[in-house]
Amino acid sequence: MDIENESKINFIPCIRWVKQGVAKSNPEKVQLTKDELVQIINETKSKLQIAEAEESTSGDNATMAVDDEFKLENYDDDEDNDDNALGIASLAELPTDVEQNFSDSDDSEKEDEKLKSDDNLILAGRVDGDASTLEIYVYNETEGSLYVHHDFLLPAFPLCIEWLDHEPGHAPGNYCAIGTMDPIIDIWDLDIINCLEPAYSLASGSVDTTIILWDIDRGEPNVTIRSFVDKVQCLEWHRLESQTLLAGGCDKSVRSFDCRTPETHLTWPIQGEAERASWNPLQPYNFFVGTSEGIVQYFDIRKGELWSIKAHEQEVSGLVVSGQCPGLLVTTSGDGTVKTWDFKDDVQPELVYEKDFKMGNVHCMDLCPNHPFTIAAGGDKKSNNFTVLDLFSVDVVKHRFGSRQLVELVAEQGSKS
């Protein structure tokens, strides 16, 4: 391999688990002819050229903010020609003797593509040089298996991922929404392999100080909330009260909205910009916030702040609270560490376990919905930027939480971003 042509950046900015039992056991496979593939590639190239022209004249501050967040200025400048963005320029010239149907596969391939009822999916946004992709991993804890099942080529840098089961006019399915650097929210069907375009898209405004509540059936905004004075960084719906939304911003505040009357809300000051916010699934009035200063704060909406700790030396890039094991809190940071905490409502949490995954800056982390101690994390070290860890395999974690009675929650109503 020509070392000079290797990608200079390769990292995972966002990640999300998908619970067992929602994916089709036999995913559908798109059948594309050569002409259809060339047409899609050429359309994508045209869109990219238009986007690059607009970007060069706009001086987009939002792009710079994200670049700074992921520290892209620390990477060497890519010397490749920009005309080959996403690495697709050379794909438009296909050999004329290839088969017209690109979906042919032998029986062994079809067997590998089958999903089991105890498989979890992991959705990972990846940036590799000029290419942005969504990778769909299959994880089976019983078998100890982890592999990439399929992937999608994305039109822009992925910032956040959320799983959903709704598509207008269809039965519940297996979809994901992806927020990118573009003012478009793309909805992808995870049960389709070789898909080159999203199932549908939601047009949105650029990065600003608003929160938009969407009517997915109609594909248009329903409510726009304009309570923040700076960028909104994180969102999470309440698990049980579907109208209640938690939001944190760069204005060093966190807010709770009743979206039936969004003009009225509760506001709390926080120690830094909000990086992550999460309701406590087992305490409906309580929530956590992780800040740009490496601080984790815990609030009761009736009483205010209960406690705060300096959890990390750099920003809190991941914060998950177990909805099955009482007291289990896991945090990650740009300092490269993953920490496991034991917390109670009225006292500061105790650090149980700390590990440097050697992933560089850890950008994201999520907790498996079916296995209460299994996490997935993404970082920016090219040779090691994705990992899955069962924390229960760590002796100190097992000793601390092994005797606790696990909780089985009722159907989840909320989501986060």
Distance CA 197, CA 14 (A): 20
Would you give the DSSP letter of residue 217? T
Topology classification of domain 208-417: Methylamine Dehydrogenase; Chain H (2.130.10)
Domain ranges of the chain: 1-204, 208-417
In one-letter notation, the amino acid at residue 104 is: D
Q: Which DSSP helix (H) or strand (E) runs through 169?
A: none
The reported pLDDT for the residue numbered 300 is 97
> Please, what is the Cα angle at 190 between 182 and 205, to 5 degrees?
20
The reported pLDDT for the residue numbered 318 is 97
SS3 308: strand
The sheet with strand 386-390 has its strands ordered as 362-367, 374-379, 386-390
pLDDT tens sequence for the chain (417 residues): 444 445 589 999 999 999 999 998 888 776 666 676 677 677 666 666 665 666 566 555 544 555 566 666 665 544 444 444 333 333 334 444 444 444 455 555 566 678 999 999 999 999 999 899 999 999 999 999 999 999 999 989 999 999 998 877 777 889 999 998 888 888 899 998 877 778 777 655 445 788 888 888 888 888 888 888 889 999 999 989 989 999 999 999 999 999 889 888 999 999 999 999 999 999 999 999 999 999 999 999 999 999 999 999 999 999 999 999 999 999 999 999 999 999 998 889 999 999 999 999 999 999 999 999 999 999 999 999 999 999 999 999 999 999 999 998 665 544 555
**Cα–Cα separations (whole angstroms), residue 295 to 7, 212, 230, 245, 307:** 34, 28, 20, 22, 11
The reported pLDDT for the residue numbered 129 is 92
Distance CA 119, CA 113 (A): 12
The reported pLDDT for the residue numbered 180 is 86
Per the listing, tokens 């999903």 go with 115
Distance CA 56, CA 375 (A): 39
Question: Is 124 within 8 Å of 135 (Cβ atoms)?
Answer: yes
Question: Is 383 within 8 Å of 366 (Cβ atoms)?
Answer: no
Residues 6+ apart with CB under 8 A from 222: 213, 214, 215
